[in-house]
Amino acid sequence: MKIYKKELIYNVPAHRGLVKITDHVREALKESEIKEGLALVNTMSITASVFINDNEQGLHHDWEKWLEKLAPEFPKEQYEHNIKENNAHSHLKRAIMGRECVCAITDGKLDFGGFEDIFYYELDGQRDKKVLVKIIGE
Amino acid sequence: MKIYKKELIYNVPAHRGLVKITDHVREALKESEIKEGLALVNTMSITASVFINDNEQGLHHDWEKWLEKLAPEFPKEQYEHNIKENNAHSHLKRAIMGRECVCAITDGKLDFGGFEDIFYYELDGQRDKKVLVKIIGE
Amino acid sequence: MKIYKKELIYNVPAHRGLVKITDHVREALKESEIKEGLALVNTMSITASVFINDNEQGLHHDWEKWLEKLAPEFPKEQYEHNIKENNAHSHLKRAIMGRECVCAITDGKLDFGGFEDIFYYELDGQRDKKVLVKIIGE
Looking at the complex, report in whole angstroms how far the Cα of residue B121 sits from the nearest Cα belonging to chain A.
Answer: 15
Quick check: B38 and C70 CB within 8 A?
Answer: no
Peptide bond into C72 cis (omega under 30): no
Q: How far apart are CA C25 and CA C1, in angstroms?
A: 20
Quick check: A100 and C102 CB within 8 A?
Answer: yes
Question: What are the angstrom distances between the C-alpha of B35 and each of B32, B109, C37?
Answer: 9, 7, 18
Count the Cβ atoms, other than its own, within 10 Å of residue B20: 12
Across residues C68-77, what is the average pLDDT? 98
* Beta carbons of C8 and C119 less than 8 angstroms apart: no
Among the partner-chain residues A37, A101, A104, the one whose CB lies closest to the CB of B132 is: A104
Share of chain C above pLDDT 70, in %: 100
Among the partner-chain residues C130, C132, C136, the one whose CB lies closest to the CB of B137 is: C136
Count the Cβ atoms, other than its own, within 10 Å of residue C11: 11
Quick check: C113 and A43 CB within 8 A?
Answer: yes
Number of domains in chain B: 1
Question: What are the angstrom distances between the C-alpha of C21 and each of A88, B33, C57, C133?
Answer: 22, 33, 15, 11
Contacts A–C by Cβ distance under 8 A:
86
Cβ density class A64-94: b for 16+ within 10 Å, e for less: bebbeebbebeeeeebbbbeebebbbbbbbb
Q: What is the pLDDT of residue A65?
A: 98
Cβ density class B84-112: b for 16+ within 10 Å, e for less: ebebbbbbbbbbbbbbbbbbbbbeeebbb
Contacts A–B by Cβ distance under 8 A:
87
Q: What is the pLDDT of residue C121?
A: 98
Question: What are the angstrom distances between the C-alpha of C15 and each of B52, C119, C120, C127, C135?
Answer: 21, 16, 13, 9, 30
Across residues A92-120, what is the average pLDDT? 98
Q: Would you say the ipTM is above 0.95?
A: yes
Which of C77, C79, C72, C4 is closest to C38 using CA atoms?
C4
Strand-pair category, B17-20 with B117-122: antiparallel
Backbone angles phi, psi at C123, to 5 degrees: -115, 0
Q: What is the pLDDT of residue B24?
A: 98
Peptide bond into B75 cis (omega under 30): yes
User: What residues of chain B lie within 8 A of the CB of A61, using their CB?
Assistant: 80-81
Count the Cβ atoms, other than its own, within 10 Å of residue C31: 12
Which of B54, B90, B21 is closest to A66 using CA atoms?
B90
Helix (H) or strand (E) holding A102: strand A100-106
Domain CATH number, residue C66: 2.60.120.460
Which of A116, A115, A129 is closest to A39 using CA atoms?
A116
- As separate numbers, helices (DSSP H) first and strands (DSSP E) second, chain B gives 3, 8
Cα torsion C39, A50, C130, B115: sign? negative
Looking at the complex, report in whole angstroms how far the Cα of residue C50 sits from the nearest Cα belonging to chain B.
Answer: 13
Q: How far apart are CA B129 and CA C96, in angstroms?
A: 24
Across residues C89-114, what is the average pLDDT? 98
Helix/strand/coil (H/E/C) assignment for every residue in C37-65? EEEEEEECCCCEEEEEECCCHHHHHHHHH
User: What residues of chain A lie within 8 A of the CB of C36, using their CB?
Assistant: 3, 136
Q: What is the pLDDT of residue B5?
A: 98
pLDDT band at C16 (very low <50, low <70, confident <90, very high): very high
CA-based radius of gyration for chain C: 16
pLDDT band at A24 (very low <50, low <70, confident <90, very high): very high
Quick check: A59 and B38 CB within 8 A?
Answer: no
Q: Which residue of C has its CA nearest to A99?
A: C52
Share of chain C above pLDDT 90, in %: 100
pLDDT band at B109 (very low <50, low <70, confident <90, very high): very high
Quick check: C81 and B97 CB within 8 A?
Answer: no
Residues with Cβ < 8 Å from B52, sequence gap 6 or more?
B101, B103, B116, B117, B118, B119, C46, C99
Among chain B, residues having any CB pair with chain C shorter than 8 Å are: 1, 36-38, 51-54, 56-59, 61-63, 66, 70, 96-98, 101-102, 104, 106, 111-116, 136-138
Structural domain harbouring C10: 2-137
Q: What is the pLDDT of residue A94?
A: 98
Q: What is the pLDDT of residue A5?
A: 98
Residues with Cβ < 8 Å from C81, sequence gap 6 or more?
B56, B58, B59, B62, C87, C88, C91
pLDDT band at A103 (very low <50, low <70, confident <90, very high): very high
Q: Which amino acid is at A118?
A: I
Longest dimension (CA), chain A: 51
Among the partner-chain residues A38, A45, A100, the one whose CB lies closest to the CB of C101 is: A100
* Beta carbons of B12 and B122 less than 8 angstroms apart: yes
User: What residues of chain C lie within 8 A of the CB of B52, using their CB?
Assistant: 46, 99
Across residues B55-84, what is the average pLDDT? 97
Among the partner-chain residues A5, A71, A100, the one whose CB lies closest to the CB of C106 is: A5
User: What residues of chain A lie within 8 A of the CB of B38, using their CB?
Assistant: 38
Peptide bond into A72 cis (omega under 30): no
Quick check: A95 and C51 CB within 8 A?
Answer: yes
Among the partner-chain residues C40, C45, C81, the one whose CB lies closest to the CB of B62 is: C81
Which of A5, A20, A30, A22 is closest to A107 using CA atoms?
A30
Cα torsion A106, B101, B125, A50: sign? negative
